[in-house]
Structure 1
Amino acid sequence: MKYLLIFLLVLAIFVISVTLGAQNDQVVSFNYLLAQGEYRVSTLLATLFAAGFVLGWLICGLFWLRVRVALARAERRVKRLEQQLVPEQAPEPSVPAARE
C-alpha cells in the first residue's frame, strides 16, 4: 500500500510537470560546465527532474546497501559469538544396560 501511494505521488508530479511543460514552449539558453545550449523550458524541466530523481534513488540505494552490509556483518558476528558462548553439546553416548 505504501509503495502504491509513493507511485501515485510520483505519477501526479510527472503529470503536473508534463502539463506545465506543454504550456511553456519558450526557448531558453542553458549554460552548463562544458557548453551552452538552447532548450525549450519543458524539455529542460523534464530532463533536470528526471536526472534529480535518478540521482536521488542512486544515493538512497547506496545508503541502503551500506546498511544491509553492516547488518549482515553484525548478524554473522552475533552468530559467531553465540557459538563461542554456548558450544554445541555432543550427544552423550548411550550405554546399553547390562542384563543379568
Structure 2
Amino acid sequence: MKYLLIFLFVLVIVVISITLGAHNDQVVTFNYLLAQGDYRISTLLAVLFATGFVLGWIICGLFYLRVRLSLSRAQRKIKRLEQQIAPATTEPAVQQYPVTKE
C-alpha cells in the first residue's frame, strides 16, 4: 500500500511537470562550465531533474552497497566466533561421583 501511494505521488508530480513544461516555451541561455547554450526552460529543467535523480540513486546505491558489505562481513565474523565457542560448550561435563560415608 505504501509503494502504491508513493507511485501515485510520483505520477502526479510527473503529470504536473509535463503540463507545465508543455505550456512553457521560453528560451533561456544556460551558461555551464565550458560553454553555453540556448535551451527551452522545460527541456533544461527536465534534463537537470533527471540528472539529479540518477545521481541521487547512484549515491544512495553506493551507500547501500557499503552497508550490505559491512553486514555480510559482520555475519561471517559472528559465524566464525560461534564456531569457536561451540566446541567449548559441547565438551562433556565432568561426572561427579556420589560421596559415600564410611
Q: Which has the higher contact order (CA 8 A, sep 6+)?
A: 1
Corresponding residue for 2:29? 29
**Could you state the TM-score of these two structures normalised by the residue count of structure 2?**
0.80
Question: Cα offset for 1:11?
Answer: 1.8
Corresponding residue for 1:63? 63
Corresponding residue for 1:5? 5
Q: Secondary structure at the match of 1:34?
A: coil
**Could you state the TM-score of these two structures normalised by the residue count of structure 1?**
0.82
Q: Aligned partners of 1:29 and 1:16: how far apart in 2?
A: 24
Equivalenced residues, count:
90
Question: Cα offset for 1:18?
Answer: 1.0
**% identical equivalent positions:** 75
Are 2:74 and 1:74 equivalent residues in the alignment?
A: yes
Structure 2 unaligned runs (5+)? 91-102
Structure 1 unaligned runs (5+)? 90-100
- Runs of 4+, deviation exceeding 4 Å: none
Q: Aligned partners of 1:11 and 1:52: how far apart in 2?
A: 18
